[in-house]
Amino acid sequence: MFLGFNFSFLEKYSFYYWDGLKVTLQLSFWTLICGTVVGVAMGLLRVQNHKTLNVIIDGWINFIRGVPVMVQIFIVYYGIATTLPAFWAAVVSLTVNSSVYIAEHTRAGMQAVNKGQMEAARCIGMSKFQANRYIIIPQAIKNVLPSLCNEFILLIKDTSIVSVIAVHELTYTSNTVRANTFLAFEPLIVTAVLYFIVTYVLKKLVGVLERRLHAHD
């Protein structure tokens, strides 16, 4: 007993939480990898000023941002990726959602680089591809990296939604513990503390990264 709460169930069910936390981190990791690849590609395409591509990508981004994540998960799991295991269907769903935000971060990072640098690079004989590769993109990565790290933190919290398709992440395992112990409140407190610890540590690491990047400006 602690402050009137009963946490004795942890002796028997603590491994549920560790297994769920492991799945949560795996989901976040794979979604960040896939979402970054797709999002960066969309962001790079957006700054090419191709009217048709911009209309398509803008429409896609606005659609995904306007649809609740849970609805996207149901569409992917029940309609598009029906042959995939629940875990990978969740990765696809979260990737679709995360990639549009990463695309916006990428676009903003590219546009934050002074246009004069592209003009200077072209003046000394660089092609547009070379200028982007050696001058613009490295600076854009520096601008975008903290945002990507913050996106990873948000992903960890968003993974709780995929419990609706029975992915055994942290929230799902917490509900399992609640059902087995007939405790409505205490298992949720443990879940909240675990989410907080992970996101707080990552937030501190992102802060360290941002300070180091600013120190090199």
CATH number at residue 29: 1.10.3720.10
Q: CA 94 to CA 133: how far, in whole Å?
A: 29
Domain-located, residue 2: no
Domain-located, residue 29: yes
Whole-prediction pTM value? 0.85
Q: CA 87 to CA 15: how far, in whole Å?
A: 19
Q: CA 98 to CA 36: how far, in whole Å?
A: 8
Domain-located, residue 204: no
Query: How far, in Å, are 37, 100, 136, 161 from residue 56 at the CA level?
Result: 18, 12, 24, 28
Is the four-CA dihedral 89, 38, 19, 197 of positive or negative sign? negative
Domain-located, residue 114: yes
Q: CA 134 to CA 122: how far, in whole Å?
A: 12
pLDDT of residue 214: 66
**Total domains in the fold of the chain:** 1
Domain-located, residue 124: yes
Residue 138 has pLDDT above 80, yes or no: no
Residue 136 domain boundaries: 25-170
Q: Which of 80, 75, 90 is nearest to 34 (CA)?
A: 90
Domain-located, residue 77: yes
Here the tokens at position 64 are 């995904």
Give, rounded to a whole angstrom, the gap between the first and last alpha carbons of the chain. Answer: 52
**Residue 101 parent element (H or E):** helix 86-111
Beta bridge partners of 5: 2
Residue 31's pLDDT band (cuts 50, 70, 90): very high
Domain-located, residue 4: no
Domain-located, residue 206: no
b/e sequence 31-52, b meaning 16+ C-beta within 10 Å: bbebbbebbbebbbbbbeeeee
Using one digit for the tens of pLDDT, what is the confidence trace for 161-205? 999 998 999 999 999 999 998 888 899 999 999 999 999 998 888
Using one digit for the tens of pLDDT, what is the confidence trace for 49-83? 788 888 999 999 999 999 999 999 999 999 887 88
pLDDT of residue 142: 76
Q: What percentage of the chain reaches a pLDDT higher than 70? A: 96
Residues 6+ apart with CB under 8 A from 213: 142, 145, 146
CA dihedral 142, 143, 144, 148 (to 10 degrees): 80
Residues making up the chain, counted from first to last = 217
Q: Which amino acid is at 126?
A: M
Q: Which amino acid is at 184?
A: A
